[in-house]
Structure formats: C-alpha cells, structure tokens
Structure 1
C-alpha cells in the first residue's frame, strides 16, 4: 500500500550526533502506518456519507463539526463578516469573498460558447445549461423540468400550496422570501430601479429590463404562425391562444370561457355584483379589474382635465377615444376640400347623427359647413 511518503536512504540523512547507539525504528514505522490507516478510515467515513453531527434545531446532519458550527449561524442569525464597502454582512468568510466581486466587477469565469462572463464558477456551470438545454431536475407531480435543484424546490410549492413567508403589514403570504421582500416595497413605496431614459421607476429589476424594450423597440419573441412580435414571452404565450382558440379558464356559474385568468376574475364580478374600484369624489364604483385605467378616466369628469388635443383645431377631449372619433370625422370632412370622393354620399347624415362626407358637401347641404376652420371656403354659415 502506498502512502505517498518518500523515505530517504540512511546515508543521505544528516542528523546531530546524540552520542546514543543507533536503534531500529521499525516500531515507529508501525505506529506511523497505524496512524495513516486511522486517517484513511476517517476519510472513508466521509466518503460513505455518514453524518455524525446533527443540528439540535432542525435535525440537519453534517460530516464535520465545523460545518455544523457554520450551519448554526442560520438559526442564530449571526453575521460576523461584514463588507467594508457596503453594509451587507454574511455568516461565512467565503460568502463575503464572493460578494466583494460585486464591487470589484471581476468576472473571471467566461463562457466558451458566448461572450458572457460570471463572478462565480457555479454561475458559469448553471449558464452552460442554456446552451446544452439540459434540465436534469424534473417534477414528480407534473412534467415540468428545471436546470437547477433550487428551482425545482421552489416549483414544488405550487403543488403543496405552502406559503411560509407572510407580510407583517397585510395578510398576504408568499412561497419565497424574495417575493415577500419585493412585496414590502408596495407598503414602503420604494422603487429602487429607475430608467436612465425617462423618469419612470420600478420595484423590480426585471420590470425595468422589460420597460427598456419600450425605448429600444426590441421585440425578441415572434409568433410562429403569423408575423407578430412581442416584447415578453408571456405576451407571446397569450397571443398563441388567438390561433389555437383555446379558452382554458371557464366560469363555474355560467358556461362562458376565457383565454386569460384575469378576464375570468373580472367576469366573476358580474355574478357577485362586487365593484371594488370606487371614486373618492362621488359614490360611483367600477368592476373592471382588467382595466385599471377606467377609474382614472372617470376622475377626469371631476377634474375637467382634457389631455387629448386635436393637432388641426384647438378642440380638446378628456378621452383618447373621443379624440380618435373627432379625427375620423375631421378626416372625412377634409375630403370636401381635396375633392376626393372615396365614399358614397349619404344625404341623411343629420338624421343618423354621424358626421359623414355628405353632411359637408356644399352642393347637397347649401354650404352649411360647421368645421370652424379658418381656411374652409364653405364655412359661410358657420
């Protein structure tokens, strides 16, 4: 058996002359072999996975006492290693060392396929699964697979329904601590992620990333059936229901079905009669949760604000829909000045109440143009 120890010849060993007779050291060699055998036995126990050190709080077991000591910091909450740059602290020195890479910006681990770099080797290993497409962790309940075990663990909460993290302000609960942290921003009003182009801010970095597509105009997700492109994968998934005609969300009261869960939620208010969106000025309430701007539009009735102005005349409107209708009527009227007649003239415009081309034709209506435009030669009787 080889122990990796090199024994030098006696003639090459230089020792101090002790004046004592030279003795046989075979007993020492035997003792050394026994010590090494004991060390190998300990290593063998480690390799077999036997964990002798148990946590008194949660029952988790560890191979080494040092690992148990480090684990206990999870329960005590002690974080002895603090960052000298920011106020963040950690339970382990190794985690602090990794954190410092955030400040230095060092990314030593680069992907051999693309140009992306990472601060941790583990992050690079996880990233490589994007190129290989491997998803080694599968859900035992459904067919969904994941690249990381942690993602599978989080996914299992969907099936168990467990929500261990509760908000101290309201009664809302979450499956992940991160979701609770993000939710708390609703109560504090903090929006730490700001757009560098406009002044809009967001509570989550992901929302900011999605918002930036508005400025870049990028739409990376394209429909395989038609040529439509969208900015979000979720939007593409919803769009595909248009082609498949699938309506997976059905009303339990009536037979109506919907493509989106939000539409079903809004529809249920018809049966319950609930109107959760109330005006703070008057007693009017609204049910349309899927259209959060309906209450905003209603408030314009009280404020009198008319934010939508016509670029041709000085008329303003409270609703964009009203401006669109006005532009349509104006465009139709301008055909009188250009002489273009793409539509069949209808003399009964006044009876129908619609401003059609016939309503402004001077030959049919005796120059009764009411456009109030300064350059209109048919506005004699305006």
Structure 2
C-alpha cells in the first residue's frame, strides 16, 4: 500500500496537467528498483518492509486508524497529507488532467487513464457467463447481477428489490407519486423519461414502427405486436362464460367484466361508471374541455386520438371510403353512409358500402 502511495506521489510530480499518464514510465521503473533494493524498516504488526522511518510512521496509521489530515470544508479525514490535497480538488473544482480527445477533466491521473479506455475501445473485463466485455470493472460487476439474480437495493416501503440503484430511485416515485417528466404540449406528467418520450409521439404523429404485413405504422413496439395478431389470426385466450376468443390476455380480462357487470371506474362529475380506466379517461375530457391531441398540420385540438386521426385525413387528402354506386369517395365513413341514402331512394336494397383496401368497411 505504502509503495503504491509513494508511487502515486512520484506520478503526481512527473505527470503534468494536460499530459497523459503513462502505463509504465522510466520514472516509475527507476523508483521501484530503488525502493525494492533498500528496505530497512519492518512493521512489527504485519511484517511489511519500508525504506525510511518516515514511511514506517505513515504505514503504522493503517493499524492505528489514525487520520490526522482533516478537510476544513466537509470534515473528512485522511491518513496521508497527499490524499487530502487530492480530495480538496473536489471542493475547488480543479481538474488538472484533461483528455485530449474530448476535453473532459479529471482530479487524478489515474482517473484520466481509466477514461482513455473509452476512446481506445479497450474492454479488458469480460463476463465468463455470456462473453460480453466492459471498459470498467464496476460495469462488469453490475452486469453480473443479471446472471446471479442479485438485487441489493430493496424498497423500504413495499419490500420490492432491484438490481440497480437507479431502478430503485425510479420505483420510489410510485410511493412518492412524483412525476418529474412533464409534456410541454398537454401538461401530462410521467415517472420515467422513456414514458414521456413514448407519449410525445401522440402529439408529433410520429409512428416509427411499421408492420411488415401491411402499410400500417405504430408509435411503439407493443402496439405493433398487438396489431400483428390481426395477421396471424392467433387467439389463444378464451372466455370461460361465452367462449369468445382473444389474441391478448388483457383483452380477455376487459371482456370478462361484461359478464360480471363490475364498473369500478366512476366519473366524479356525473357519476357515470365504466368497466375500463381508459374509457373513464376518455369520458372525462367532456367535463374538462381538454383537447390534448393536436393536429401537426393546423394545430387544431381534439379530445380523442381517433378524432385527430380522422381529421388528419383532410390534410392527407386520403379518401378510403368509396361508393360502389357512383364511385364518389369520402374521407370519413359516416359521410359515405349519409351519401348512400341518395342511392337508397333511387334503388332501394341495391347498394353497399365499399372501402379501399387500405381502410374502411365494405
């Protein structure tokens, strides 16, 4: 320990701010040869040999626990004066060792040396379970929790445990009800920044997840997965009461409330009750007058995403609903239905609703 501390002091003297710390400089080699050649003081506690009486006195602090050098800013104490001097840079903000690749500064040359691995691409720490490599040892140690199942960060409110401290911090917002990520378009808040990012696609209209079976696009991977069941026709979840089948389990759970008659979500404004929370939420905008869904073309607001989708067809000139009697097309299905009444008078019982392949119902 003392040899390494002596070495760090020598390194501090010879590595100037702005220079890269060397892996094994001539100064280090010369220093190590000299110190190993003359060691005349032996510790009676652990048998370690040191070169001078002064270093022996310093070494004895390891056994006595003495830390005579105290920081006047925070009260932290150190066994070595040199360590206090380095610590003081935390308070002064001094970072004399700068990376010549990105300009980031460091308190010690050892910090800069570790940082340089990011630029060199060096990843010396490899997981023996899956072969993944890491730049830093602590990153590998954190990664290993995936394989060991270790979750050292428990929640003191509900007992749930987490592998990473950050995950615990995010989880605690469930108990504190803190939602620090706020949408600047509609004011809705979220616990996680990822949830806000997903929500923003409602306002921007961005749908980066396309279906490879049809032309539809979706705002998230979960939405795309749900949609794909339309093409696969897979419906593994069946209702035990009426036998109706569903592609997704939560659709079955929602359906089963029809049989139980449970309407657990009530509007406090008018006392109307709903089986699903999303239906209550959609209903409440009637009372609030909120129109959070904005058109990306004219910024007109709508209280439901379906209304926004229908409106945007005005800008896209899309008219998927076509009359099979005269060929006239319409943006909205209800407009086609109204139009069909003209033909119903002319030819009763000889008309049908026809839509283009990309939308609508025949």
**TM-score w.r.t. length of structure 1:** 0.47
**TM-score w.r.t. length of structure 2:** 0.49
Return the index of the structure with the highest Cα Rg.
1
Higher relative contact order (CA 8 A, sep 6+): 2
